[in-house]
Amino acid sequence: MSKKTNTLLFILGATVFNLLITMVSLVTLMIVYFKLIAPVLPESAAAWGMPVIFVGAIGLSFLVYKIVLKQITKRVDMEKYFDPIFNFRRTGNIKRLD
One-letter amino acid identity for 38?
A: A
Domain ranges of the chain: 3-81
One-letter amino acid identity for 9?
A: L
Model pTM?
0.72
* 98 residues of the chain, pLDDT tens digit each: 787 888 888 889 989 999 999 999 999 999 999 899 888 888 877 778 889 999 999 999 999 999 998 998 888 877 777 777 766 655 555 565 65
CA–CA dist 91, 3 (Å, integer) = 21
With contact defined as beta carbons under 8 Å apart, do 75 and 47 qualify? no
70 SS3 class: helix
CA–CA dist 2, 46 (Å, integer) = 52
